[in-house]
Each structure stands twice: as structure tokens, then as C-alpha cells.
Structure 1
Amino acid sequence: MASENRNRATTYRHTQHAPLCWGLYLLCIPLGLAAWLTREMPVLQWLFPIVSLAMLWLAASFHHLTVEDEGDRVSIRFGPLPTFRRSVRYDQIVNAQIGRTTVMDGWGIHFSPRGGWVWNLWGRQCVVIQMRRGTLRVGSDDAERLADFLQSRCGVNGGR
């Protein structure tokens, strides 16, 4: 049984999907219509198409969140457009435990009022990664397995 648990924890990959991107895709419809209707107006003929393309880019960038083992580090990336990504080396992780984001923490990528960075796509469950320099809260609908994996890779005894 112990070797089975070790084998399960030797690698990790999980992708979380969220419906938030569909709202951004839908927002592109009225923006595209506004772009068409204002195509003869000097400033607006450029404003609406640019904003519409930005919404499409954001929606495609925040379609899902993938957390994956890459040997000596864990990578965290939004996609399918690979615009926002980061990685943390295992030797920089001091602790990893299950946590919850607050309503103020919200979704996306930003600095948390509680300190450290939040990378969250959907929901409030997260893994709080204490690093030698800073804190990272990674939102996940698989927080328990991610925390266990990080603890096993870093030799951390979890404090759940």
C-alpha cells in the first residue's frame, strides 16, 4: 500500500476548467456588433474591434488552469493560449497545505490582500504554497491531491 501511494505521488498533472471564459466569449458578440455599427466613426471604428479582440484573447487565456510536475519544479499555467504561466522549483517550497481563498482574493492572477500571489480560475479551494520568498495560492478543484504531491516532492510534513 505504501509503495502504491508513492507511485501515485511521483508525478502530477491536473487541468481545471471553468465557465467564466464563456461570459467573456459572449461579451464579444455585442462588442463585435458595436464595432460593425461604428465602423464609420473616427475613434470608435478602432476602439470596439480592439476591445473585442482583447476579450477574445482573455477568454482563450483563462479557459483552463493546468498544474503539472516538470521534474524539478511545478508549473502553473492558464490556457489554451500560453499567455500566463509560472513555475516554482521544489527546493524553494517550504510548505504546502490546503487552504481557501477569500471573496476578496477572487479569480485570476493578482496580489492577495493577505500577502502573496493568487492564481485561481474558479472556486475557493486552493493550495497555499509557502516558498522561501513569498506565498502563492493556487486555486484547484483537486487541492488535496496537489497538496499531498507537493509535500511528497519537497519532503514537507503537511499541516492540513
Structure 2
Amino acid sequence: MTSLSLYYHRQRGPLCLILYGLAIAFFVIAWFVRTIPPQSTLSLIFVMVGLVMLIVATGFHHLTVADEIDRLRISFGPLPLFQRSVLYEEILRADVDRTTFMEGWGIHLSPRGGWVWNLWGRDCVAIQMKRGTLRIGTDDAENLAAFVNGRVEEFGVDARER
């Protein structure tokens, strides 16, 4: 693998469409209850819940994994609330894996140890680092694992020697 090779993959999550629909529903309900006492309180509650749904939906619309020459960047978006970078020199190896039902979706600690960043599906790449494990959910697990292992070798750290 040459230093010119790059990796960029974006996985879309269909659950955000449900959240967009719920946000619209809450805004419509807020519009109709604005004349029912207590107008301001009830309407405000529905608007606030709709805004929270909208923020969550735009924050978890897709999961992007991208190479940034010396690090791997993982970010949810398009609203950039949650991002993480991992230096290749901190990575020991990357293995294709599957998340368990208990690990689910989102950003959280895994019962097996380490962190899970997953948007949709159970396929993932388990990145073993010097300090812990990071499981990145992806629908391109084979290519991501091969790319990360190649990058780790480029940075002079051979996974077999560790």
C-alpha cells in the first residue's frame, strides 16, 4: 500500500428517517395545540421534543470513516456532534468482527471492553489499540480492516511483532 492510498466511506442509517418523521409530527402537534390551554406550555413542550428529535436525527444520519494521513477519523453527521480520531501509531491491528445484540447502535462502552461506534448493522472492525479497543460499525468491514492494517505497517509498526 502506498502513502497515496486513501480511505473514505460513509454509511447511512435508515433509523434517522423515523426520527425526522417524529420531529415533523411533534412540530405539527405543537401547531395544533397552540390554542388549547395551557397553550404556551404544551406547545413549547412539543416544539422542544421535536427539536431534540431533529438534532439527534441530523447528528446520527451517517457514519463517516476517513483517512487523514496520520490518523483515522470517525464521525457521525451531518451535524458534527460526535467525532473521534485515532493515530495509526496507536493502533496494534484491525480485525473484521461483529457486534453483539447487546452492543447495539450508537456510541457507548462495550460489554466486551472498549468502545462501540455503530450506526446500523452488526458488521464492524475491531481496532486493537495500545490502550483499549474501538469497534467501528461499517458495511465495508473487509476493506476498512485491510486499509488500517496497511496504514499501521506503513507507519513502521508491524502488528505481528506486538
State the TM-score, normalized to the length of structure 2: 0.87
Q: Which amino acid aligns with 1:17?
A: R
Q: Which amino acid aligns with 2:114?
A: G
Q: 2:75 aligns to what SS in structure 1?
A: strand
> Within 1, Cα distance between the matches of 2:93 and 2:141?
14
> Within 1, Cα distance between the matches of 2:126 and 2:139?
13
Gapped regions of structure 1 (runs ≥ 5): 1-5
> Within 2, Cα distance between the matches of 1:157 and 1:92?
11
User: What do residues 1-26 of structure 1 show as CA deviations (whole Å, max 9, x unaligned)?
Assistant: xxxxx259821111111211101011
Q: Which amino acid aligns with 2:136?
A: V
Equivalent in 142, 145, 156 of residue 144 of structure 1: 142
> Within 1, Cα distance between the matches of 2:70 and 2:142?
21
Give the length in aligned residue pairs: 153
Give the share of equivalent positions with the same residue, in percent: 55
Q: Which amino acid aligns with 2:15?
A: L
Equivalent in 89, 108, 111 of residue 110 of structure 1: 108
Equivalent in 4, 23, 40 of residue 28 of structure 1: 23
> Within 2, Cα distance between the matches of 1:61 and 1:26?
15
After TM superposition, the structure 1 = structure 2 runs for residues 1-160 of structure 1, keeping only pairs within 5 Å, are 6-7=1-2, 10-39=5-34, 40-41=37-38, 42-155=40-153, 156-157=158-159
Tell me by how many angstroms 1:157 deviates.
Answer: 4.8
C-alpha RMSD of the superposition: 1.8
Are the aligned partners of 1:18 and 1:121 in contact in 2 as well (CA < 8 Å)? Answer: yes
Gapped regions of structure 2 (runs ≥ 5): none
> Within 2, Cα distance between the matches of 1:73 and 1:7?
15
User: What do residues 58-79 of structure 1 show as CA deviations (whole Å, max 9, x unaligned)?
Assistant: 1111111110000110000111
Are the aligned partners of 2:92 and 2:159 in contact in 1 as well (CA < 8 Å)? Answer: no
Change over 3 Å in CA distance of 1:8–1:24 after alignment to 2:
farther
Q: 2:128 aligns to what SS in structure 1?
A: strand
> Within 2, Cα distance between the matches of 1:54 and 1:132?
36
State the TM-score, normalized to the length of structure 1: 0.88
> Within 2, Cα distance between the matches of 1:8 and 1:154?
11
